């Protein structure tokens, strides 16, 4: 009982810490619009386009995503003197559009310190202007700071950043954010679970401490003298 109480107590502490972090993030780490955001960072490529790796949400993701969860916001500021385009597209449509076009795919992003890695996909033809395409599910185009927002859907998607005139040499500052309404209930649920487990751990340890110990036999009495005739 004592060992079980200690194990359950440690589990309660872990759940409580997780719940506290979730509530702290919900209360302090959102901007005025309710988004959790990264800082803006510079991305650049000498090719025609900069794309993300595949965003795969699974076939049935839309069925379990709660309302208000999975709203993505991408803020972008182009280099001075250029007009930038950013769009989110189905993976297959983006692949067909960029087939044969030299572009860079971002494969990994680190934030502390910021750095990213990308691979270049070779091609031999220029692309058509991105704004003329009809497959984008979210898009933004501007010569100044702008943003696009997108509610996550099930499927496989990619983010594509290009110059609006489809010229090579893309350069922009990007910041990514997500709005979710699930951290608060997760935090509350973890704290409730931590409280229940904490109470169970206390009871286990309490009863283990009060459990009577086996008695210890005292010294044997001295033998009686033999009074036989």
Q: What is the 3-state secondary structure (H, E, C) of 23-53?
A: HHHHHHCCCCCCCEECCCEEEEECCCEEEEC
For residues 115 and 12, membership in a common domain is answered with: no
One domain for residues 117 and 139: yes
What's the confidence (pLDDT) of residue 49? 94
pLDDT score, position 131: 93
Residues 130 and 206 both lie in one domain: no
Within a domain: 223: no
What is the reported pLDDT for 225? 63
Domain that holds residue 169: 31-183
Tens digits of per-residue pLDDT, 129-167? Answer: 999 999 999 999 998 888 898 887 777 889 999 999 999
In-domain check, residue 127? yes
215 found inside a domain:
no
Integer Cα distance of 162 and 104 in angstroms: 11
Residues 76 and 158 in one domain: yes
- Residues 98 and 199 both lie in one domain: no
Query: What are the residue ranges in the chain where pLDDT is below 70?
Result: 54-69, 181, 211-229
Give how many domains the chain has, as a whole number: 2
We report the CATH number of the domain holding residue 103 as: 2.60.120.380
Query: 13 lies in a domain?
Result: yes
Query: Do 156 and 72 have their domain in common?
Result: yes
Does residue 134 lie in a domain region? yes
Tell me if 221 is assigned to some domain: no
CB 55 within 8 Å of CB 156: yes
Are 194 and 89 within one domain?
A: no
What was the pLDDT predicted at 58?
A: 46
Token pair listed for 183:
């951290």
């Amino acid at each position: 009982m004592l060992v079980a109480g200690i194990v359950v107590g440690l589990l309660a502490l872990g759940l409580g810490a997780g719940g506290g972090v979730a509530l702290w993030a919900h209360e302090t780490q959102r901007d005025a619009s309710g988004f959790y955001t990264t800082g803006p960072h510079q991305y650049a490529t000498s090719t025609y386009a900069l794309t993300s790796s595949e965003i795969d949400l699974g076939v049935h993701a839309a069925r379990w995503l709660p309302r208000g969860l999975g709203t993505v916001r991408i803020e972008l500021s182009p280099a001075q003197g250029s007009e930038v385009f950013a769009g989110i597209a189905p993976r297959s449509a983006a692949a067909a559009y960029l087939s044969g076009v030299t572009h860079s795919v971002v494969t990994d992003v680190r934030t502390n310190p910021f750095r990213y890695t990308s691979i270049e996909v070779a091609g031999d033809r220029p692309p058509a202007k991105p704004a003329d395409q009809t497959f984008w599910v979210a898009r933004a185009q501007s010569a100044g700071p702008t943003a696009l927002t997108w509610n996550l859907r099930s499927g496989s998607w990619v983010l594509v950043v290009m110059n609006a005139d489809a010229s090579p040499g893309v350069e922009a500052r990007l910041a990514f954010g997500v709005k979710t309404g699930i951290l608060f209930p997760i935090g509350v649920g973890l704290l409730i679970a931590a409280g229940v487990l904490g109470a169970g751990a206390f009871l286990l340890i309490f009863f283990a401490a009060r459990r009577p110990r086996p008695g210890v036999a005292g010294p044997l009495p001295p033998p009686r003298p033999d009074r036989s005739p």
